Structure 1
């Protein structure tokens, strides 16, 4: 293997190793429950309102676009099915992941990065305290838990926004909007949405932790690490969403088939 390839793959190996270590340390006792609760509250506080506000235009855009398309093809009664399924399966978990990564992940990365450059992480290791167990595990788990909760919020807000714009703005039928969705919706649609949100939150947490524990030197390095964490999280979220969506469509048959 050439030196450039080896240098490119080294961060990937370290990132995977950190993820495995986080999983192993999360099973160790004592579990940092108080820290977990504090981090869940913090991530929720900084992400909840932006998630709700950001989901409204997503739901509205999907509803307006599908409403216009179905009107052109004479299938207005299917607008609710298409828009709600798109919001539940795609828009809500992606919006949640983007806001969790941008708000919560950046804060986690900045916190860990500041501790790293102040050598607090090294001091903890010298004292025999695992920074992974004490600091990283609660933050990563908090981002996963918060992502699941906020995904439910984003789904409700997106569906309500889509209903408002399709029924009130475009003059669609309220009954057709709801009935078309209930006719083809499955419990698995909600399940895959929550699974996506959980994975997106955990991945964003691991990325934020990795960059926070390995920042370039100085305060500027911490800022660069935060930017890198957000960008990497976005890329991984869309890649994982593509894989999960393809698997779901292949493995779960549509309702009525």
Structure 2
């Protein structure tokens, strides 16, 4: 069964606390149900694969098309600045810091929230207002296990996969601009990328993508199953969920970035 939000319009703060509590409870219920389904051999693998294929299809090209201008803009701005101060050979370090450490995970999260998350909300919201969710509960079907879990796990899996792809694409786009377009030294780019690009940066980007995927998928599934008010309610749920997902992404990114800076020391000295 799903978590119901009980609110009697007691006020802005009370309603917000009530909904946040229901969201946390829904998240815990979803992952415990998913873990139990895996251990019991009841995980809906076919639905998971179908949702993963759908999310890859709708998220892949937008992610690459968004990463292309970001990579080029970073190369143009930082490359020009580095050239003025005589440090053009550090363009690879800029790629390591900005694209691998920040841009790739954020691009993946924004596309996952704005495209994949919105698709999940609209799908579950339409099922809810058509009373399909209620019908499944009447037939004693575990809605969380059969409907919510595969979508949540699929979005997390796609977020991790897309982060790796977008990281590689961002490096490739920037390399092509710096080396082929501008005429920078290929060896200098690769040497600084190797020297300043740490495995921990990529691992942190993947961990960020995992956290982004969890937050966005849970919010999307929660808002979809809580949809009320017909087709207008579906539209409102999509709008509310996208805003909530974007806020969650930026808050998580700030927290994890600051923790990473404290825990992992910087590489090298810049002169």
Alignment TM class, shorter chain as reference: over 0.9
**Further displaced range: 83-92 or 163-172:** 163-172
Q: Does 1:9 align with 2:17?
A: yes
> In 2, Cα distance between the equivalents of 1:176 and 1:149?
29
Partner of 1:84: 96
So what's the TM-score if we normalise by structure 1?
0.95
Q: Which residue of 2 aligns with 1:187?
A: 199
Q: Are 1:222 and 2:222 matched, yes or no?
A: no
Paired position in structure 2 for 1:207 = 219
Match for residue 140 of structure 1 among 148, 152, 157: 152
Deviations 1:82-124 (A, max 9, x none): 1232101111111011111111111110010011111111111
Q: How many residues of Structure 1 are paired with residues of Structure 2 in the alignment? A: 256
State whether residues 40 and 143 of structure 1, in contact with CA within 8 Å, keep that contact through their aligned partners in structure 2: yes
* CA distance in 1 between partners of 2:201 and 2:50 (Å): 31
What is the TM-score normalised by the length of structure 2?
0.90
Q: Is the 8 A contact 1:18 1:210 kept in 2?
A: yes
Alignment partner, residue 68 of structure 1: 80
Give the secondary-structure state (helix, strand or coil) at the position aligned to 1:129. coil
Q: What's 2:34 paired with?
A: 26
User: CA offsets per residue over residues 185-219 of structure 1, 9 Å max, x none?
Assistant: 22111111111111111211111111101123110
In structure 2, what is the equivalent of residue 155 of structure 1? 167
> Could you report, residue by residue, the CA deviation over 1:29-88 in whole angstroms, capped at 9, with x for unpaired residues?
311111111111110111111111111111111111110111122111111101232101
Unaligned runs of 5+ in 1: none
Please give the secondary structure, in 1, of the residue aligned with 2:35.
coil
For 1:185 and 1:64, how far apart are their aligned partners in 2? 20
Q: Tell me, yes or no, if structure 1 residue 49 matches structure 2 residue 57.
A: no
1-structure distance, mates of 2:248, 2:195: 33
How far apart are the structure 1 equivalents of 2:263 and 2:127? 44
Would you say the 8 A contact 2:96–2:196 is kept in 1? no
2:215–2:245 Cα contact (<8 Å) kept = yes
Structure 2 unaligned blocks of 5 or more: 1-9
